[in-house]
Structure 1
Amino acid sequence: MQRTIQYIKTELGPHYPETEVDGFIRIIFGAVLSMNYTQIILEKDKVLSETDFNTIKGIVGALKTHQPIQYILGETEFYDLNIKVNPAVLIPRPETEELVSWICNSGIKPGARILDIGTGSGCIAMALKNELKQVEVTGVDISEKALETAKENAIRNNLKVEFAAADILNWGNYNWQKYDLIVSNPPYVRECEKKQMDANVLDYEPEGALFVADEDPLVFYKTIAEFALDKLYPGGWLFFEINEFLGDEMVDLLKSLGYIAIELKTDINGKKRMLAGRKE
Structure 2
Amino acid sequence: MRERSHELVGIFVNCGRMDKGLKGAKALKQYIAKALLEALGEREAESVAYGLLEDLFEIDRTAVLTDAPLELVEEEWDELWDAVEQLKKHVPLQHVTGVAPFFNRKFIVTPETLVPRPETEELVQLILEENQGDLFNVLDIGTGTGCIPITLDLEMPHCDAFAVDISEKALFVARRNAVYLDAAVEFEQMDVLKDALPFQQTFDVIVSNPPYICEREKADMHENVLKYDPHLALFVPDDAPLLFYKRIADLAMDHLNDGGKLYFEINEAYGKETKAMLEEKGFEEVRIVRDLNGKDRIVRAER
- Would you say same fold, with TM above 0.5? yes
Give 3-state SS (helix, strand or coil) of 2:161's partner: strand
Tell me, in whole angstroms, the C-alpha distance in 1 between the residues paired with 2:78 and 2:195: 49
How many percent of aligned residue pairs carry the same amino acid?
38
Pairing 1:140–2:164 present: yes
CA offset at residue 45 of structure 1?
7.9
State how far apart, in whole Å, the 2-side matches of 1:157 and 1:46 are: 28
CA distance 1:175–1:28, change in 2 (3 Å): closer
Name the amino acid aligned to 2:126.
W
Asked if structure 2 preserves the Cα contact closer than 8 Å seen for 1:171 and 1:227, the reply is no
In structure 1, how many angstroms separate the alpha carbons of the residues matched to 2:146 and 2:95?
16
Is 1:56–2:80 an aligned residue pair?
yes
Question: Which amino acid in the other structure matches residue 263 of structure 1?
Answer: R
- Structure 2 residues not aligned, in runs of 5+: 1-21
Deviates more, 1:86-95 or 1:64-73: 64-73
- Give a deviation string over 1:204-251, Cα, whole Å, max 9, x none: 110000111111111000110111011111111100000111111111
Amino acid at match of 2:286: I
After the TM superposition, which residues 120-139 of structure 1 pair with which residues of structure 2 at under 5 Å, given as runs? 120-139=144-163
Q: Do structure 1's residue 244 and structure 2's residue 268 form an aligned pair?
A: yes
Q: Structure 1-normalised TM-score?
A: 0.93
Instruction: After superposing the two structures, state which structure 1 stretch, 22-31 or 47-56, moved more.
Output: 47-56
240, 246, 252: which one pairs with 1:228? Answer: 252
When structure 1 is superposed on structure 2, of 25-34 and 95-104 the one drifting more is 25-34
- CA distance in 1 between counterparts of 2:199 and 2:179 reads 25
Q: CA RMSD in A?
A: 1.9
Aligned counterparts, 1:1-280, within 5 A = 1=22, 4-43=28-67, 50-172=74-196, 174=198, 176-279=200-303
Q: CA deviation at 1:15?
A: 2.0
Q: What is the aligned length?
A: 279
Runs of 5+ consecutive residues of structure 1 not aligned to the other structure: none
Deviation at 1:11, TM superposition (A): 3.0
The CA deviation at 1:34 is 2.2
Q: Secondary structure at the match of 1:113?
A: strand
For 1:136, the aligned partner's letter is D
The CA distance in 2 between the partners of 1:235 and 1:173, in whole Å, is 20
Give the distance between the partners of 2:244 and 2:287, measured in 1 at CA: 19
Q: Normalized against structure 2, the TM-score is what?
A: 0.87
2:51 & 2:186 partners in 1: Cα distance?
Answer: 31
The amino acid of 1:42's aligned partner reads T
Partners of 1:137 and 1:173 lie apart in 2 by: 14
